[in-house]
Amino acid sequence: MEERLQKVLANAGVASRRKCEDLITAGKVTVNGEVVTELGVKADPTKDTITVSGKPIKKEAKVYLMFNKPKGVITSVSDPQGRSVVMDYLKEIKERLYPVGRLDYDSEGLLLMTNDGDLAHKLTHPSHHVPKTYHATVERVPHGNSLEKLVKGIKLEDGITAPAEVEYHDIDPEKKFATISITIHEGRNRQVRRMFDAIHHPVTRLKRISFGGLFLNNLQRGKHRRLTAEEVRKLEESVAGIAIDPEATLEDTID
């Protein structure tokens, strides 16, 4: 299938889409022996011979990883401030991977990584509510009626949240904290933290344990593993029928 050349290059792991655009306009890219300098040109990586600075690009094999992100790590492939990023833990992976969605700096847990742009966009598409489950440790123990507000949907500054699934996971005997299991079907910025702030029980620790029906289980903090074929199939089936932006690239899945 033909796609814009900058997307083909980005998905082949050459560089980010923006850097690929610079390579094209600088005249460093050829398609079937012809130098291309226009950004609107399309190509089919399965049929066309594409080179960058004289070297042919290779179509990368699809890679799907589950990573247990530690707290204090940026969900990004790089950071201009030099802070730790998720790719620091995946240096042995040769393919150019991107996070599927985001876990904020202070959160930890399950993060999917892939070079499959189509699947990543479907999993993060706002019209498809992929379930995400967290263990949220909060100050004090919320009463049942407070949690019921989260179940029904609670008003935040960017609108009312969709209904959530909430239950007690662990309660401190001295009632100083509780860990709540909460499943949401949206992807708003810092949504879980803001939901608990709204019921006056701030989150002190947030760990994502499930995404799209896949579970972190006993994967150690800072470690990763490849998804099984069955797990990939499960993710694909969960977003079947979702249309994607044909001009989007994987880097667009990062907020």
Instruction: Decide if 74 contacts 85 (C-beta within 8 A).
Output: yes
Burial of 237 (0-12, 13-18, 19+ CB in 10 A): exposed
Other Cβ atoms less than 10 A from the Cβ of 253: the count is 22
- DSSP 3-state assignment of 62? coil
172 belongs to the catalytic site: no
From the list 104, 118, 197, 252, the catalytic residue is 104
Closest CA to 20 of 249, 244, 246: 249
Residue 128: name the closest of 239, 14, 17 by CA.
Answer: 239
Task: Please count the other Cβ atoms lying within 10 Å of the Cβ belonging to residue 144.
Answer: 9
Residue type, 26: A
Catalytic residues: 104
